[in-house]
């Protein structure tokens, strides 16, 4: 109720509702929030009532370290909502956090990026979740389009550009021309699958069980997508499955490269499939300009080299690839604020 | 996944890369490349790029390379190959090319939208034109009403044939029908003497048979124009008219004696109302017989010298009975609105 009035006191938001991280761009203010998409829930053992204990960074610190009454949830999975209620609460928390006005509950216009491979049901869930969190109007934009705009690709040109967005839950590849998506493909492989692959590799080869945060740390520090002469090492601790006690051991970058072969192959296959399906004129443009990498996965060492080697095309890592989607959404919001008809472009729903 | 091609030039750093003093970026790159003893085509082969791109980078011709995102990608990879500090190269590029952090605003072309709007406006114009023509036609519809014209013609022709059997009722509603006013009616010749008790003789009357309720026009041309019609039009087949024809109201003794041809001494008027109606009745002498609001299902009986000047606020709800004969409603119920002003006189046999 009174959403219109409250909207007058709210700033438009572009939200990159990612599997791993949620980023919020405020129109006219830039990126104002970058927190993990994690929610800690406290369950009253007597009454059975569930309450939100922490959201974002605070909740991520609790990941894997919670007592019985607490549980940490990642409400997004594979780029879409896995737990509707918790997602709504998380969005509500983030939206209130980025609004300085406390007198009114904010009711902003929100632009949310969604995976291009998501179904209508999944998109509707995201829209309803944002509406439930207080949004006045919800626009949905495909993630590759937002990523391309955020990377600075001139999407309005009559020239094809290929963008590969490697996120936490999905990797999406799209060919963009004239403010529209010519081809889009998505695979449910992303940073989470990299972590799972590392956990699985360590368990299989070292007989040690490690948690998700540890796997993520390994990925960030020594993860590599292409073999190099420089070998980096990291010492980690986990629970030895045979002895049942914690043990410390050392992993090197070549081992992690081996562990990541399977998910990386899936991404390469998606890129090759996109190149095969792209119309010839646009394929020529892509061959000339190359592929632009965005998303957190683009930060993996030498992933551009791997894709270049596999496809034979030039590969460019966008500036600040983690925030490309949120920044691209923000630029679209700026345009919508000036011209309402912009919602008809950029494949916005 | 295949490995990289064998390099023809060794780019392993033997010494510290020379610092860029104040020389242009292209010159700096060229200097470092020649330090390795490599040609442009060697670098292009290593990076998988067109040699023209390397040439453009070394001549600072960045405009040829498209959007800044692609130029940054080329420079980043070139810097890594030459073991130059990536950030320093990119910063030099920013300073040199004047590329700001903010990308250019998005553009959405909408040329066809405007044409559609013009078409819409054209349709609206046609709609207004048709509505205007229709409104004008409705405004003049009363003048063209066939029943009124028929009644007018009938009354006029009867006046011409038998001036003594003058019409008894004239009506002038607020819609300004071309009815004959009471003053003109009073100037008409008196009716021929006739036995008050004798029944009307339709056979003696010219065709069409006289209707007890006839409306004559106030318009002078219509009043005076019609000559005796060779084939007079039949009387309007209105219910009231037919009833009156079958049983005409006998003329009063006063009229019979020819004392006053235009007054009906002792005429009895019964007013019945099916709804609330304001009513005012004046007799021939101008005496107000009634001037009040009559309620639903009420009636009022009046008597006095006719003709009566009657004003009805809600004419459709009123039923008039003059000397036991109901007066045809079509005479006094207006076509639009509810207020009716007319003069009612006892019909001449």
Query: Which stretch of A133-137, A340-344, B43-47 has the lowest confidence by average pLDDT?
Result: A340-344
Has residue B214 got a pLDDT over 90? no
Q: Using pLDDT thresholds of 50, 70 and 90, give the confidence band for residue B195.
A: very low
CA-based nearest residue in chain A for residue B52: A288
Alpha-carbon distance of B70 to B53, in angstroms, equals 11
Shortest distance, CA A154 to any CA of chain B (angstroms): 7
- In total, chain B counts a number of residues equal to 349
Which element (helix H / strand E) includes A89?
A: helix A84-98
Res B269: pLDDT? 87
CA-based nearest residue in chain B for residue A257: B1
Q: DSSP states of B115-167 as a string?
A: HHHHHHHHHHHHHHHHHHHHHHHHHTTGGG-HHHHHHHHHHHHHHHH-TTS--
Chains A–B, number of C-beta pairs less than 8 Å apart: 77
Has residue B145 got a pLDDT over 80? no
Cβ distance of A316 and B76 shorter than 8 Å: yes
Alpha-carbon distance of B317 to B337, in angstroms, equals 12
List CB contacts (< 8 A) between B66 and chain A. Answer: 154, 289
Quote the ipTM score. Answer: 0.75
Q: How far is CA B134 from the centre of its chain?
A: 9
Smallest Cα–Cα separation from A263: which of A198, A183, A175, A185? Answer: A198
Mean pLDDT across the stretch B243-270? 50
- For B183, the token pair is 């003053």
Alpha carbon dihedral A76, A81, A85, A91, in 10-degree steps, equals 60
CA-derived radius of gyration, chain A? 21
- pLDDT 10s digits, A155-197: 888 888 999 999 988 899 999 988 889 999 999 999 999 999 9
- pLDDT 10s digits, B326-335: 888 888 888 8
Q: Using pLDDT thresholds of 50, 70 and 90, give the confidence band for residue B1.
A: very low
Shortest distance, CA B77 to any CA of chain A (angstroms): 8
User: Which among A261, A304, A331 is the nearest to B106, CB-wise?
Assistant: A331
Question: Is the separation of the CB atoms in B313 and B277 below 8 Å?
Answer: yes
Cβ distance of A289 and B70 shorter than 8 Å: yes
pTM beyond 0.80: the answer is no
Cβ distance of A341 and B105 shorter than 8 Å: no
Mean residue pLDDT across chain A: 87
Question: Is the separation of the CB atoms in A306 and A264 below 8 Å?
Answer: yes
CA angle B267, B273, B275 (to 5 degrees): 160
Cβ distance of B48 and A312 shorter than 8 Å: yes
User: Which among A304, A316, A339 is the nearest to B70, CB-wise?
Assistant: A316
Has residue B189 got a pLDDT over 90? no
Q: Using pLDDT thresholds of 50, 70 and 90, give the confidence band for residue A47.
A: confident
A interface with B, Cβ–Cβ < 8 A, is 149, 151-156, 179, 227, 261, 264-265, 268, 288-290, 292, 304-306, 308-310, 312-319, 331-332, 334-335, 339, 341-342, 344-345
CA-based nearest residue in chain A for residue B107: A156
Alpha-carbon distance of A330 to A343, in angstroms, equals 13
Smallest Cα–Cα separation from B304: which of B323, B278, B279, B329? Answer: B323
CA angle B244, B248, B253 (to 5 degrees): 145
User: Which among A155, A316, A345 is the nearest to B73, CB-wise?
Assistant: A316
- pLDDT 10s digits, A261-297: 999 999 999 999 999 998 998 888 888 888 999 999 9
List CB contacts (< 8 A) between B72 and chain A. Answer: 316, 319
Percent of chain A with pLDDT over 70: 95
Alpha-carbon distance of A155 to A118, in angstroms, equals 22
- pLDDT 10s digits, A6-26: 656 667 888 888 888 899 998
Res B2: pLDDT? 41
Has residue A5 got a pLDDT over 50? yes
Tell me if residue B284 falls in helix, strand or coil: coil
Q: DSSP states of A250-292 as a string?
A: EEEHHHHHHHTHHHHHHHHHHHHHHHHHS-HHHHHHHHHH-EE
Q: What is each CA distance from A44 to A47, A48, A70, A115, B26, in whole angstroms?
A: 6, 5, 9, 35, 66
Check if B77 contacts A (Cβ < 8 Å).
yes
- pLDDT 10s digits, A123-138: 888 888 888 888 888 9
């Amino acid at each position: 109720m009174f959403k219109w009035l409250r909207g007058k006191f709210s700033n438009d938001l572009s939200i990159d509702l990612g599997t791993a991280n949620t980023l919020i761009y405020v129109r006219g203010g830039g990126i104002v929030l970058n927190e993990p998409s994690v929610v800690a829930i406290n369950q009253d053992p007597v009454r059975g009532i569930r309450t939100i204990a922490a959201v974002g960074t605070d909740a991520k610190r609790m990941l894997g370290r919670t007592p019985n009454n607490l549980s940490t949830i990642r409400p997004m999975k594979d780029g879409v909502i896995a737990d509707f209620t918790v997602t709504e609460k998380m969005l509500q928390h983030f939206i209130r956090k980025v609004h300085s006005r406390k007198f009114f509950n904010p009711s902003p216009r929100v632009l949310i990026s969604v995976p291009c491979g998501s179904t209508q049901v999944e998109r509707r869930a995201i829209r309803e979740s944002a509406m439930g969190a207080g949004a006045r109007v919800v626009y949905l934009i495909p993630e590759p389009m937002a990523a391309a705009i955020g990377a600075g690709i001139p999407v309005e040109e009559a020239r094809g550009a290929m963008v590969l967005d490697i996120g936490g839950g999905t990797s999406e590849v799209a060919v963009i021309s004239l403010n529209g998506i010519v081809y889009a493909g998505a695979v449910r492989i992303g940073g989470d699958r990299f972590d799972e692959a590392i956990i699985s590799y360590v368990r299989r080869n070292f007989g040690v069980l490690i948690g998700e945060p540890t796997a993520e740390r390994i990925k960030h520090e020594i993860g590599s997508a292409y073999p190099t002469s420089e070998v980096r090492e990291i010492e980690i601790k986990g629970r030895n499955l045979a002895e049942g006690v914690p043990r410390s051991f050392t992993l090197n970058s070549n081992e992690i490269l081996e562990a990541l072969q399977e998910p990386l192959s899936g991404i390469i296959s998606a890129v090759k499939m996109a190149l095969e399906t792209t119309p010839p004129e646009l394929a020529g443009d892509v061959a000339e300009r190359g592929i632009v990498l965005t998303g957190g996965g683009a930060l993996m060492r030498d992933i551009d080299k791997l894709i270049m080697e596999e496809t034979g095309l030039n590969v460019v890592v966008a500036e600040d690839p983690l925030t490309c989607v949120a920044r691209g959404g923000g630029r679209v919001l700026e345009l919508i604020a000036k011209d309402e008809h912009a919602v008809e472009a950029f494949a916005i729903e | 996944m295949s490995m990289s091609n064998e390099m023809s030039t060794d780019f392993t750093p033997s010494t510290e890369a020379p610092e860029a003093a104040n020389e242009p970026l292209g010159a700096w790159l060229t200097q470092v490349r020649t330090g390795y003893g490599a040609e442009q085509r060697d670098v292009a082969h290593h990076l998988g790029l067109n040699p023209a791109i390397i040439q453009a980078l070394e001549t600072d011709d960045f405009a040829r390379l498209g959007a800044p995102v692609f130029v940054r990608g080329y420079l980043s990879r070139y810097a890594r190959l030459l073991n130059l500090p990536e950030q320093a190269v990119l910063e030099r590029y920013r300073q040199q090319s004047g590329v700001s952090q903010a990308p250019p605003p998005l553009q959405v072309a909408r040329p066809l939208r405007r044409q559609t709007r013009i078409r819409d406006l054209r349709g609206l114009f046609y709609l207004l034109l048709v509505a205007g023509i229709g409104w004008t036609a409705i405004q003049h519809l009363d003048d063209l009403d066939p029943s009124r014209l028929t009644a007018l013609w009938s009354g006029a022709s009867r006046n011409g044939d038998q001036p003594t059997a003058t019409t008894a009722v004239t009506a002038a509603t607020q819609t300004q029908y071309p009815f004959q006013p009471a003053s003109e009616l009073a100037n008409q010749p008196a009716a021929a003497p006739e036995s008050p008790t004798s029944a009307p003789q339709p056979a003696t009357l010219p065709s069409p048979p006289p209707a007890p309720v006839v409306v004559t026009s106030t318009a002078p041309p219509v009043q005076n124009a019609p000559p005796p019609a060779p084939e007079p039009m039949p009387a309007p087949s209105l219910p009231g008219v037919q009833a009156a024809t079958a049983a005409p109201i006998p003329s009063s003794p006063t009229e019979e004696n020819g004392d006053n041809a235009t007054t009906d001494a002792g005429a009895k008027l019964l007013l019945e109302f099916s709804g609330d109606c304001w009513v005012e009745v004046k007799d021939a002498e101008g005496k107000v017989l009634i001037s009040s609001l009559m309620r639903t299902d009420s009636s009022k009986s009046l008597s006095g010298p006719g003709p009566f000047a009657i004003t009805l606020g809600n004419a459709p709800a009123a039923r008039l009975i003059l000397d036991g004969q109901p007066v045809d409603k079509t005479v006094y119920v207006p076509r639009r609105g509810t207020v009716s002003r007319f003069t009612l006189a006892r019909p001449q046999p």
